[in-house]
Structure 1
Amino acid sequence: MRGTLFGDQIEAFEDALQYLGEYDISAATIKFIDEKWRTGLDQFPYQMTFGSRTVIQPVDPELGPVLPNYQLIAAIPRAVDPDERYDVVGVVLYVEDEPRRVEGKDGGRDSLVREIIITDQSCDQPLSISLWNDLTEARYFDRLKNWADSFQVIGFRALKPYTRRGFSMNSSMSTRIIYEPKGERARVLQTG
């Protein structure tokens, strides 16, 4: 199926898609292509449109979907490549009630951001996670209401490090929130 990337999407999805790769793609809209925009009359008449909520997961047909590889917070290097992605799981300590509006640089588009603070058994320093734009929507956060009061365990997939104001993590185009994480690291936090 044909897919088209525009503007900032080209760089944002550069590492997520590789030629001849197989992927599980969610939250990508399928749209009809008007005949005047088709490259050939025999072309399939639909295209996939990626947005800020689109999640792309590589799939190995023999191994199945790629599961999160949760890292201990203390194991994530503080001097990191900003293009690295990390999966973390932790106990929710704080969830910002409402998203904040952040003005775009040089008159660019405004963004919404919402903070979550988590911790795990590996360190005394909690980790601040900034979720941007579509991940600030109520449909994600309605499930998180009062989670900080009950110390729920939650996972995050594909967070990027952010070092401009201490050490924190930011969401990326591939970030997923995992409400009921599985695996040994999650089990230790749930029973501890």
Structure 2
Amino acid sequence: MKPELMYIEDLNPKVKEYRIQVKVEAIENKHLTLSEVTCCQTILFGDEKGAFIYGHLIEDEIQTIGPKFSINGHYEISNAPVKQMPKPLQIAATKTPYELTLGAPALIHPICPISGHAEPDFAEISSIATAHFLDEICELKSAATFAEDICDDSTYDVLGVVLFVEEEARLVDSFYGQQHYVREQYTTYIIVNLFNHLVGSACDTLNVWAEKFIVVGFTSVKPSSLQGFSLTTGMCTKIIYNPKGDRANVLREWAELYTQLLLDRQDRILQIRYPQQHQETVTIQYLNEKKISSKVFCFKVGPTPALTASNTLKWSLESVTVANTNALEDKISKTTSFPNWCMHKQLRTSKKRKQEQMHNEANTIATAGVTTEVQTQKHEGKKSKPPIQHHQT
């Protein structure tokens, strides 16, 4: 469900969910420090009622979000946090004391000049993965030098070719104990986990994946570390069944040219999803040639009538079979609860802070111990120092 369409004059810090359609009037780059290190980009937006408001981008946001805007371009901005502008920076031209924060969780979509509707801004999956794992690296560093890390609430619009859709919805448990319906959907080259309202008729439309390769788009999806790196849908996610634009057309042409590549990738997905459940009988020589550490073997032994000198019964090896563990692993993965990655990350961050706090306390105790020891040595030195004798001449 789309937020309510509003105008700039209706915005204030209390408004959380909204969308405005604006035009970029001016873009200005400036430095906030004399060393010309901290950069800031100021963008002036105006709506059809003649009201204006500023949006600010700092440091890394200029490289990631800044290229989306162009002068005289029309855009739809949703759910951008509205903040009070500092009085020294208030400009009479805007006639509003507020400004927009264009980072997460803001959604920015260009407006088509012909249709007048907001179009999804499809991002490259490789760039999403880079930003996501860059955030992980920054978090693990003891002292991050980045101005602002990638936020967990960042959402993206993606485009891909459907390779596989799970037949039925599964009921999984979330981190908070709530149950949700989910269906996995494989595209090139990412897994998109569809939740709740998208697992029904919206997902059934994609069941033609076995007959032909179709290009679809997903809006407002979030990165997740479930099953490696994947994307998850939210309440605002929509499936675009017939996306338009240059990127969609190029992807359709690519799918036609590299059909065999897509078929091979689809075959690999099906082999993983539906493994052949059977046991294979092999010989001892075959076992010696294979890496036994990577397989699970079932040994069938039987007693013999012979006894050793120590009256111990002898056993003979009758056969060896290779156990197929794919079915067991798949069964375990289906019954595993669906974790909440954001909460997991918060717990990990708090644990890291506790470790840093314990480390700082240990350093403080060690420093205090060294100081006390030095003071004690000085005090003992004063006591052991012999008195100065004065001789009369």
User: What is the TM-score with the length of structure 2 in the denominator?
Assistant: 0.32
Larger Rg: 2
Measured at CA, do residues 61 and 189 of structure 1 come closer, stay the same or move farther in structure 2, by a change above 3 Å? closer
Determine the C-alpha separation between the residues in 2 that align with 1:118 and 1:62.
Answer: 26
- 1:10-159 map, 5 Å: 17-18=17-18, 21-22=19-20, 64-76=116-128, 77=130, 78-79=132-133, 80=135, 81-106=151-176, 108-119=177-188, 126-137=189-200, 139-159=201-221
Structure 1 portions without partners, runs of 5+ = 4-13, 25-56, 120-125
Question: For residues 66 and 102 of structure 1, do their structure 2 counterparts lie closer, same or farther at Cα, with a shift above 3 Å needed?
Answer: same
- CA separation in 2, counterparts of 1:115 and 1:127? 10
Aligned residues: 138
Q: Is the 8 A contact 1:70 1:86 kept in 2?
A: yes
CA RMSD of aligned residues (A): 3.1
Greater length-normalized contact order (CA 8 Å, ≥ 6 residues apart): 1
Q: Which has the higher helix share?
A: 2
1:182 aligned to which of 234, 244, 260: 244
Q: TM-score, normalised by structure 1?
A: 0.62
**Residue deviations 1:59-84, cap 9 Å, x none?**
99997432101112222123253211
Percent sequence identity is: 36
Q: Conserved in 1, the CA contact under 8 Å of 2:218 and 2:240?
A: yes
- Does the CA-based 8 Å contact 1:95-1:148 persist in structure 2? no
* Separation of aligned partners in 1, 2:217 and 2:206: 12
Counterparts of 1:61 and 1:90, CA distance in 2? 22
Structure that is richer in strand per residue: 1
- In structure 2, do the counterparts of structure 1 residues 167 and 109 end up closer, same or farther at CA, with 3 Å as the change threshold? same
1:162 aligns with 2:224: yes
Aligned-pair CA distance for 1:165? 3.2
Distance 2:253 2:186 in 1: 20
The answer to whether the 8 A contact 2:110-2:119 is kept is no
Distance 2:213 2:185 in 1: 12
What SS does structure 1 have at the residue aligned with 2:251?
Answer: helix
